[in-house]
């Protein structure tokens, strides 16, 4: 390293602000030397002679190689398989067996698990291995296993799934090694293809409003793991992220943090619980708050139709009269959907359907609520009703395709997405989702074409226009996410050491 490199205090402060504003990350005092070293390293590597020039470049292009490397190096956290034995024992012997048995009793062989801040994939692959051991009928289950991170480099590493002996930490004669890893060379091992193919990786910035959303599969989750991530965040970002985690979980779903993460930050939707030496958050039972519903449109009545545990005092809703304006009611439903208040929205919808039995929009809204509450089969039925009453509405076909994907019905999902594009060739989300589905089938060239179509369409829309299925996500935000996804698919991320 050159002794002539100078990073002025004001430039250092600007880098810290950029990292915080764009990624929600806090640079602690003990991390400053690493930040300074990284800035100098990148400047010298790319022959950038002033830190201010580097700062200007990454501000204008967060996907440039310099920015990718900066984020990778300041968030580096070498992990390994089954890290934190106590927590994985809890998952193996307690939480997952109970969850699996509950799903079996419901006839719902689907598990939805997200590793947020997945690094090189060791955590979510450990979950996949654990499920392979716990499920004798593994192939009969629809497993939605997702790993996300803000570093393109580690996501590429996760997709390749090659690990050194330090990451695996196993003995060469163990059945664990023989079943799940294949020796390559120089203490390098390749993960078993079946386990590797069971996990999907994508770029997600936890500080952005890109979830919960069925668009990226972050909804109705049974388990979220977000370990050793909050140590980089300030309290405000942590609180906002916890709220979004709560909205992304199924009822009584579990959020597992690391022992080093803050556990005493309050969030309305999550309750802190313990099991032996393990602390975890659990999604609270959904409750209906009467004050959240416009009094001009609803009144409390006796309810017995919904299989949801609600408060005893004011536990049901119905539309006040047939004279209520349907457009106004739909507006109130959309407001509840935008707040992720699925229970209140669903109550309004089901009572409105008593009067307006053939309205396609209401069934589409119902399907959205049920999807986000983890009731995929019921959501599928509601979406089919929506299509039945309006066979030319592309949004219903898109939602239908998303639901079918979550249910593992990929061939039918492809038909739904293609029907959406047939009805509206400029439907950005349909192009993107079809691309994702084709990628899953190994059709990379065609997949890239559809995702690029989606990016081109999004660039023609106003940047601040909200996405139809994600009220808080704009076209600009989704376009950025798609570009990140495309970079991963096309392997346009360099390998930095």
Domains of the chain: which residue ranges?
Answer: 9-74, 85-283, 425-497
| pLDDT value of position 294 | 43
pLDDT at 343: 87
Q: Splitting the chain (497 residues) into consecutive groups of 10 residues, what average pLDDT does each group show? A: 78 92 80 87 90 93 85 73 89 95 92 93 95 94 93 86 80 64 85 93 86 85 91 83 91 86 74 88 66 40 35 44 73 86 91 92 94 88 96 95 90 96 94 90 89 91 72 71 74 44
Angle at 441 between CA 437 and CA 443, to 5 degrees: 95
Q: What is the pTM of this model?
A: 0.73
DSSP E strand boundaries for 165-231: 181-185, 188-191, 199-203, 221-226
Helix (H, G, I), strand (E, B) or coil at 136: coil
Q: Which value, in Å, is the radius of gyration of the alpha carbons in the chain?
A: 24
Return d(Cα 282, Cα 272) in angstroms, integer. 6
Closest by CA to 419, choosing from 383, 461, 377, is: 383
Contact 346, 369 (CB under 8 A): yes
Q: Which helix (H) or strand (E) holds 467?
A: strand 466-467
CA angle 87, 88, 89 (to 5 degrees): 90
DSSP string for 333-402: HHHHHHTT-HHHHHHHHHHHHTT-TT-HHHHHHHHHHHHHTT-HHHHHHHHHHHHHH-TT-HHHHHHHHH
Coil, helix or strand at residue 430: helix
The CATH number assigned to the domain with range 425-497 reads 1.25.40
Using CA of residue 250, residue 256, residue 262, residue 264, what is the dihedral sign? positive
| 65: its two tokens | 């190689």
Write down the pLDDT at residue 14. Answer: 94
Fold agreement between 85-283 and 425-497: no
d(CA 119, CA 81): 12
Q: What is the pLDDT of residue 186?
A: 77
- Report pLDDT for 286: 58
**Predicted local distance difference test score (pLDDT) of residue 269:** 82
Decide the pairing of beta strands 298-299 and 270-275.
unpaired
Give the Cα separation of 105 and 280 in Å (integer). 25
CATH code for the domain defined by 85-283: 3.40.50.150
Return d(Cα 156, Cα 487) in angstroms, integer: 10
């Amino acid at each position: 390293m050159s002794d002539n490199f100078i990073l002025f205090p004001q430039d250092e402060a600007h880098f810290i602000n950029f990292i915080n504003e764009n990624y929600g990350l806090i640079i602690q005092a003990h991390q400053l030397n690493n930040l300074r070293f990284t800035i100098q390293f990148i400047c010298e590597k790319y022959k950038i002679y002033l830190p201010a020039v580097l700062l200007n470049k990454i501000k204008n292009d967060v996907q440039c190689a310099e920015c990718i490397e900066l984020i990778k190096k300041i968030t580096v956290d070498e992990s390994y398989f089954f890290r934190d034995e106590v927590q994985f024992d809890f998952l193996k012997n307690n939480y997952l067996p109970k969850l699996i048995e509950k799903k079996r009793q419901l006839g719902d062989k689907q598990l939805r698990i997200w590793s947020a801040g997945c690094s090189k994939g060791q955590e979510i692959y450990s979950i996949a291995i654990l499920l392979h051991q716990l499920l004798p009928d593994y192939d009969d289950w629809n497993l939605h296993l997702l790993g996300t991170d803000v570093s393109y480099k580690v996501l590429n590493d996760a997709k390749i799934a090659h690990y050194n002996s330090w990451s695996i930490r196993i003995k060469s004669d163990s059945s664990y090694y023989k079943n799940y890893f294949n020796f390559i060379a120089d203490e390098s091992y390749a993960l078993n293809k079946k386990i590797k193919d069971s996990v999907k990786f994508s770029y997600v910035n936890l500080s952005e409003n890109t979830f919960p959303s069925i668009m990226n599969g972050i909804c109705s989750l049974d388990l979220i793991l977000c370990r050793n991530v909050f140590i980089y965040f300030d309290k405000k970002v942590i609180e906002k992220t916890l709220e979004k985690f709560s909205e992304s979980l199924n009822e009584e779903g579990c959020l597992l943090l690391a022992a080093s993460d803050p556990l005493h930050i309050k969030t309305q939707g999550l309750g802190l619980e313990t099991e032996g030496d393990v602390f975890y958050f659990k999604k609270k039972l959904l409750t209906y708050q009467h004050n959240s519903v416009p009094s001009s449109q609803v009144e409390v009545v006796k309810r017995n139709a919904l299989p949801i545990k609600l408060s005893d005092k004011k536990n049901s809703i119905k539309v006040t009269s047939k004279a209520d304006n349907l457009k106004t009611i739909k507006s109130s439903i959309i407001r509840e959907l935008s707040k992720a208040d699925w229970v209140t929205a669903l109550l309004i919808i089901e009572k409105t359907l008593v009067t307006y039995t053939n309205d396609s929009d209401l069934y589409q809204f119902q399907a959205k609520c049920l999807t986000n509450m983890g009731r995929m089969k019921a959501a599928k039925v509601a979406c089919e009703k929506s299509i039945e009453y309006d066979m030319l509405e592309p949004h219903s076909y898109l939602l239908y395709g998303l639901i079918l994907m979550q249910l593992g019905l990929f061939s039918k999902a492809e038909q739904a997405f293609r029907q959406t594009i047939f009805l509206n060739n400029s439907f950005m989300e349909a192009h993107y989702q079809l691309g994702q589905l084709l990628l899953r089938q190994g059709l990379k060239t065609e997949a890239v074409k559809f995702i690029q179509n989606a990016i081109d369409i999004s660039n023609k829309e106003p940047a601040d226009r909200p996405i139809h299925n994600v009220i808080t996500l704009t076209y600009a935000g989704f376009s950025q996410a798609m570009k990140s996804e495309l970079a991963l698919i096309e392997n346009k991320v360099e390998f930095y050491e």
